[in-house]
Structure 1
Amino acid sequence: MFRAVVLIAAVVLVSDQLTKYWAESALSDGHTVSIVGDLLQLRLLYNPGAAFSIGSEYTWIFAVFAAAAVVAVTVVARRVTSRPWALALGLVLGGAATHLLDRLFREPGFARGHVVDFIDYAGFFVGNVADIALVVGVGVVMLLNARGIPLRGPAAAGEARTAEQVSPSS
């Protein structure tokens, strides 16, 4: 399942970076594209902080948190055998990884880069594809936890059986 987590993360990362590239080329002149009136629009912003631009003077701290999240999710993902958990962790890993890349390599400089946001939700929040992946991924993690679904699902074909399954019964 680790490959599935990495594949999902890669799809999120590529999708996010491609849409950011498009947003920078299509929206850089400052115009807004209405999708659903004022409820959903596309407009380009560069966010040095977290959600709602909180902590914009501490961009480097968000780079450290993103790096820690990438490492932590990768470590946990190596133990996953459950498909729903693979999906959830892939979404979170992809979102965290692409935000880390923005923080590390975008202007104004290393570990101070601004995240490209362009999806405007009625003026309340402006985000990107990575934000969507993170919210959905964390939501799925919460749902899986609430339902008591373990990281390690039923043994996949070809997996070693546990000692309990192997031991002979009297």
Structure 2
Amino acid sequence: MAEAESIIGTPDSPEAGAAEPEKADGADSPADVSEESSPDEAVAPVSRGRRRIAALFLVAALAYGLDLISKLIVVAKLEHRDSIRVLGDWLQLEVIRNPGAAWGIGEAFTIVFTLIAAAVIVVIARLAKKLYSTPWAIALGLLLGGALGNLTDRIFRAPGVFEGAVVDFIAPKNYPVFNLADSAIVCGGILIVLLSFRGIDPDGTVHKD
């Protein structure tokens, strides 16, 4: 878990940077509270940190809910039927059951993907306590919601617990079929990369190279 947190970029100690980091716009770090601060001033950053955590779980719940509802609808209405053309041959709706990753890679390792999704959820839950950045809250919320969406399929769908096939139904031309959970994960990952390039950490500090 520590290695996963290191990859995402969460600082573990104030000594991680040589110079004192700056604070990102709209972010509140608990380090901003001085020893001379009044009790009300000391509580304020904690309260704002809790709002960031609430934003994370709100985004996660929205992503998870949309993914779950969309899968229930397409399985009930489209499975075992002809694909529906949305934009000609460029975009279609076609339900498939995918036990592996993109392009059906790793179909024999479904349980591995299940464990990876579970590990991502645990890491994000641990990072939440250090979260003071709204953009990071959104990014992690998208990752969490997407991971929960696909993990639900792995646990509850056939052929069995931890070996279930994920329901994919969005089929662009010359691209692997995917679902809304995959979209949330990709968008969250892209946002994390952008934040990392800008030097913004989950605790709201900014590090300039």
TM beyond 0.5: yes
Between stretches 13-22 and 71-80, larger displacement belongs to 71-80
1 CA distance for matches of 2:127 and 2:102?
A: 25
Deviations 1:8-59 (A, max 9, x none): 1111111001000111011113211111111111000000001111100111
TM-score normalised by length of structure 2: 0.71
2:126 aligns with one of 75, 96, 105: 75
**Cα drift, residue 152 of structure 1:** 1.8
SS at match of 1:13: helix
1 CA distance for matches of 2:184 and 2:62?
A: 10
Instruction: Report the aligned-residue RMSD.
Output: 1.1
In structure 1, stretches of 5+ residues that fail to align are 155-170
2 CA distance for matches of 1:130 and 1:84?
A: 19
Structure 1 segments of 4 or more deviating over 4 A? none
2 CA distance for matches of 1:36 and 1:122?
A: 10
Partner of 2:73: 22
**Cα drift, residue 84 of structure 1:** 0.4
Structure 2 counterparts to residues 103-118 of structure 1, below 5 A = 103-118=154-169
Matched, 1:87 2:150: no
1 CA distance for matches of 2:54 and 2:106?
A: 34
2:110 aligns with one of 46, 59, 80: 59
Structure 2 counterparts to residues 119-158 of structure 1, below 5 A = 119-153=170-204
2 CA distance for matches of 1:2 and 1:78?
A: 8
SS at match of 1:64: helix
- Say how many residue pairs are matched: 154
* Percent of matched pairs sharing the same residue: 42
2 CA distance for matches of 1:30 and 1:147?
A: 46
2 CA distance for matches of 1:128 and 1:78?
A: 29
Deviations 1:115-147 (A, max 9, x none): 000000114210000011000000000000011
